[in-house]
Amino acid sequence: MRLFKIIPVVCLQLVLSSISCADDLTKAESAVSNVLFDFDGSFEYSSYVVKEDGHVELIFAENMPDQLYEDILTKLKNHPDISSVLASKGGPICKLW
């Protein structure tokens, strides 16, 4: 009988923790999108994936200017909704540069 009382409590905790993870994901995705948009549409020459814990992985165009790359990474790493950032410049060459 006691087991039947514990199961609903455990299920409720699982649901609440999954909502929290989804909220972190949504905030991090929004943060990345906003930062890239702020840098003159840099979302057009990058691709990224946001993990449930707010970790972001990005690949920028191979020929992206170093200063722009560093500025974007600094802003992403300092954003409170992003837990960590892993980035590289190895994507397709962009005609803008």
Q: Could you read off the pLDDT tens digit of each residue along the chain, which spans 97 residues?
A: 454 455 444 444 544 444 444 577 789 999 998 898 888 766 577 889 999 889 999 999 999 899 999 999 999 999 999 999 999 998 888 777 6
What pTM value is reported for the model?
A: 0.72
| Three-state helix/strand/coil letters over the chain | CHHHHHHHHHHHHHHHHHHHHHHHHHHHHHHHHHHHHHCCCHHHHEEEEECCCCEEEEEEECCCCHHHHHHHHHHHHCCCCCCEEEEEEEECCCCCC
Question: Could you tell me the domains of the chain?
Answer: 2-91 (3.30.70.2210)
